[in-house]
Amino acid sequence: MTQTLTARLRPALSLEGALRSGAALVVIYAGLLVAFTIASPVFLTGDNLLNITASVATLGIVAAVQTAVIISGGFDLSVGSTAAFTSVVVAELLSAGAGAPLAIAGALVVGAVVGLGNALVITKLNVNPLIATLGMMSIVRGAGLVWTDALTVVYPADQLAYLGRARIGGVQVSIVFMLLAFVAVWAVLRYTVFGRFVFAVGGNPKAAFLAGVRVDRVRSIVYVASGLAAGLAGLVIASQLIAGSPQAAQGLELSAVTAAVLGGASLSGGQGRVWMTLVGALIMGTLTNGLVLMDISSFWQMAVLGVVLILAVALDQLRTRARH
Amino acid sequence: MLRCDGVHKSFGATRALRGVSLHVDAGEVVALLGENGAGKSTLVRCVAGEVTPEAGHVWLADRGVAVVHQELSYVGPTSVAENLLLAQLPRHRRFPFLLDRRRLVERAREMLAPIAPDIDVRARMSDLRVGDRQLVEIARAVGAGAAAVLMDEPTAALTAAEVAKLFAAVEALRRQGVGILYISHRLDEIQRVADRAVVLRDGAVAGTHRIGEVTREDLVAEIVGRQLGAFTREHHAEQVTEAGASLEVTGLTVPGRLRALDLRVRPGEIVGLYGLAGSGVELVAKAVVGAVRATGEVTVDGRRLKRRTPAACRRAGLAHVPSDRREEGIFPLLSVGTNIAMSAMADRGGAALVTRASDREAGRHWAERLDIRPRDPDLPVSALSGGNQQKSIFARWLAIRPKVFLLDEPTKGVDVGAKSQMYELIATVAAEGAGVLVVSSELPELMSLCNRIGVVTRGALAGMYSTASVDEQQLVDAAIGGHS
């Protein structure tokens, strides 16, 4: 009896088993919460937790779709720039007197267009996704800076409050948007044929092609979705700032990739779990918040972010090795 | 120079070499003949030291052996001279961290002089023709001091003029006292360059002959001579309805690889395609479904395909089981059920809903019908044996009830039991009215399965034979090309 119990527990207790089940990540997160609670008296207060969730909202929205992009064997590094550019578009539209519906539509169109651009460069010109979206990241960031002369664009504060600032029962609306993004990506990946294709294309693109899956179409849709998510993130940013900033969301793409990889999405494609990405995003948000509370400069935060990214990828390698 | 004594080598349950003994003397050219799978490449790998034999010895002269593989290894963007002397680039006398370009060119010219004096050593390697690149590789091997050279299908990609140059080089090496083991399918070439021929069959030496004391017919008979497989399909002509064609291919061309191939597969018919390595036969199925760029027309069940992509072919009812299961067939991380459900899902469109349960159901259904073991649809497909993986890929296509099956090496790496199950399966889909095209390098398989067998030689269809009125020897003879 005891023997069978230990036999059953062993895989969960081993490093490999823990890595696979994602239990390790939750434990790490819990540890992080405990550490910051001890280190800072303000950390575990309602207001601060809301701060964390607010900062996680934009990251979560793009990280949810980024997970799908990574599962499909790709990458989208352009999401940060696109979110910033979108916030400018929203602010310009609102300050020009166009209503909120038009601003929202504009944001989503901008996101979709950038996503489509990525898709075309990757599938038609056969450019490696890393390079294609890195280029797009620079193009879109540059475009935003040129358009605004690197200045923040302010719009009337009575507009668009519900997206980033309003609360329902104490919870920001933006958090609801984020959760909706996670539910949507989860449902599509798990319950649609398209979702199966995303895994198939990431796991073995040649086999998918030969099995009659339209690989290029699948990849294109994934990048357009990622662009849309960036557009939505831009809306939330514009609402939170009550302005559009061409310099906003710097490093958002790295945080999103880190969250997804922390959550177990494999950089070689074909593997990943959306809900674990949420835990990854929470870790990122909590870490940033905790460092702020501990009065550590934002420059150091950047460095810490890099360390976490590298650790996450190293963890992915460890997982891959454990599998073989 | 080179001597093998009783070399044994197994891979898993397959005994690739069963006590092979042969020798190559100084200044001698020995041809190594045999069908695909006879053990030639394993012997090459043993001699090259890439694999270690379980029993027996490979003896090499002090200076070792150099292997010129079918896929050449060179640094394309650098010069011929640098490629020749990559391992010992001459350094400048006074500044040893600099390259001595003058000596580099001189020494490269010396190395090339006996073999191919007309190649410019300052040219870029990637700008040379294939044949010249090969000569550079040979010169490098001999220049590095190899006493024996092993050439694996050296003429597979060469033009007639290049072949003549290669033979001149072989002659030059022979005069220098280098021993050469020459592997080729092309009997006419062997009769021109070799002194002796060693025939491998089923991992053992079937015979050794002096060229000139043996006829081409005897060599072919010795290459083929073996028992037929256990499976035989009743293939009477009347089973096949004359009317219509399941698959009609006209003028299928892949530049440089396939030339204007015409094929017709009638409903209920199994047509085989046979060809030696490098003949282009391995490209036919992929060219038909548009997985490699090709021109020509494909008609499935009377309807001409406008766009040829695997997805369009799937919709038209054309199934393609690729030869490289691991690289092109399975989704290793996904479950057996999802693997099987993939093509049927593609038929339903991306927006259709599925659940894990529906994948599992598909897996269970087909595992039952095709005897896929273990019967666990949740298992990752990579955990199955080769034969069961192959059945899963087959099931993927069966689920969409195709009108035509294109099967590339359907039993490659499949154990004997699963093999006969695959044969029965193929016979069944044909009996149910599908047209089947089987590309295989195993003649007994084609002989027992097919109504007709086409032979592809140098990218073209050399002949189409009714299985009832042809024997293996004639097919091998046609595949080797040349006469008849």
For the domain that residue B161 is a member of, what is the CATH number? 3.40.50.300
Are B343 and B428 in the same domain? no
- Tens digits of residue pLDDT in A61-119: 999 999 999 999 999 999 999 999 999 999 999 999 888 999 999 999 999 999 999 99
pTM for the model stands at 0.80
A101 φ/ψ angles, rounded to the nearest 5 degrees: -55, -40
Q: Give the least confident one: A120-124, B161-165, B459-463.
A: B161-165
Across A96-100, A147-151, B158-162, the highest mean pLDDT is recorded for A147-151
Looking at residue A170, its pLDDT comes to 74
Residue A92's nearest CA partner among A139, A177, A151, A161 is A151
Residue B44's nearest CA partner among B61, B54, B58 is B58
Looking at residue A85, its pLDDT comes to 98
Which range of residues forms the domain containing residue B260?
A: 237-317+402-479
Using DSSP's 3-state secondary structure scheme, residue B354 falls into coil
Residue A245, token pair as written in the block: 């900033």
Give the count of domains, chain B: 3
- Chain B interface includes A186 (CB < 8 A): no
Are B140 and B281 in the same domain? no
Q: Indicate whether B329 belongs to any domain.
A: no
- Tens digits of residue pLDDT in B292-324: 999 999 999 989 999 899 999 999 999 999 988
Are B388 and B407 in the same domain? no
Looking at residue B227, its pLDDT comes to 46
Give which of B308, B331, B339, B400 to mutate to test A binding, by max A Cβ within 10 Å.
Answer: B331
Partner residue facing B348 (CB), from A193, A210, A211: A193
The domain boundary, picked from B379, B395, B411, lies at B395
- Tens digits of residue pLDDT in A245-264: 999 999 999 999 999 999 98
Residue A239, token pair as written in the block: 């609402």
**Close Cβ partners of B399 (under 8 Å, ≥ 6 residues apart):** B340, B341, B343, B344, B362, B366
**How far is A164 from B213, CA to CA, in rounded Å?**
91
Are B430 and B371 in the same domain? no
**Close Cβ partners of B354 (under 8 Å, ≥ 6 residues apart):** A191, A192, A193, A195, A196, B341, B345
- Chain B interface includes A193 (CB < 8 A): yes
Tell me the chain B residues in contact with residue A211 when contact means C-beta distances shorter than 8 Å.
310, 314, 342-343, 346, 396
Looking at residue A202, its pLDDT comes to 95
Of residues B287 and B184, more confidently modeled:
B287
Are B78 and B218 in the same domain? yes
B334/A199 touch (CB, cutoff 8 Å), yes or no: yes
Looking at residue B88, its pLDDT comes to 81
Tell me the chain A residues in contact with residue B396 when contact means C-beta distances shorter than 8 Å.
211
- Tens digits of residue pLDDT in B219-254: 888 887 754 445 666 654 445 655 678 999 999 999
- Chain B interface includes A319 (CB < 8 A): no
The domain boundary, picked from B193, B224, B255, lies at B224
Predicted confidence (pLDDT) at residue A229 exceeds the cutoff of 90: yes
Predicted confidence (pLDDT) at residue A196 exceeds the cutoff of 90: yes
Are B39 and B161 in the same domain? yes
Tell which CATH classification among 2.60.40, 3.30.40, 3.30.70, 1.10.3470 matches the domain A25-323: 1.10.3470
Looking at residue B185, its pLDDT comes to 76
Are B301 and B360 in the same domain? no
The domain boundary, picked from B170, B195, B224, lies at B224
Q: How does the average pLDDT of chain B come out, rounded?
A: 86
What is the mean pLDDT of the segment spanning A197-223?
A: 95
A212/B315 touch (CB, cutoff 8 Å), yes or no: yes
Domain boundary assignment for chain A:
25-323
Q: Indicate whether B325 belongs to any domain.
A: no
A227, A114 Cβ separation under 8 angstroms: yes
**How far is A84 from A141, CA to CA, in rounded Å?**
8
A191/B355 touch (CB, cutoff 8 Å), yes or no: yes
Give which of B334, B343, B347 to mutate to test A binding, by max A Cβ within 10 Å.
Answer: B334
Partner residue facing B354 (CB), from A192, A212, A271: A192
Are B212 and B303 in the same domain? no
Q: Indicate whether B356 belongs to any domain.
A: yes
Predicted confidence (pLDDT) at residue B449 exceeds the cutoff of 50: yes
Give which of A70, A126, A193 to mutate to test B binding, by max B Cβ within 10 Å.
Answer: A193
Predicted confidence (pLDDT) at residue B432 exceeds the cutoff of 80: yes
Q: Which residues of B354-370 are buried (b: 16+ CB within 10 A; e: fewer)?
A: beeebbbebbbbbbeeb
Q: Which residues of A260-284 are buried (b: 16+ CB within 10 A; e: fewer)?
A: bbbbbbbbebbbbbbbbbbbbbbbb
Looking at residue B435, its pLDDT comes to 94
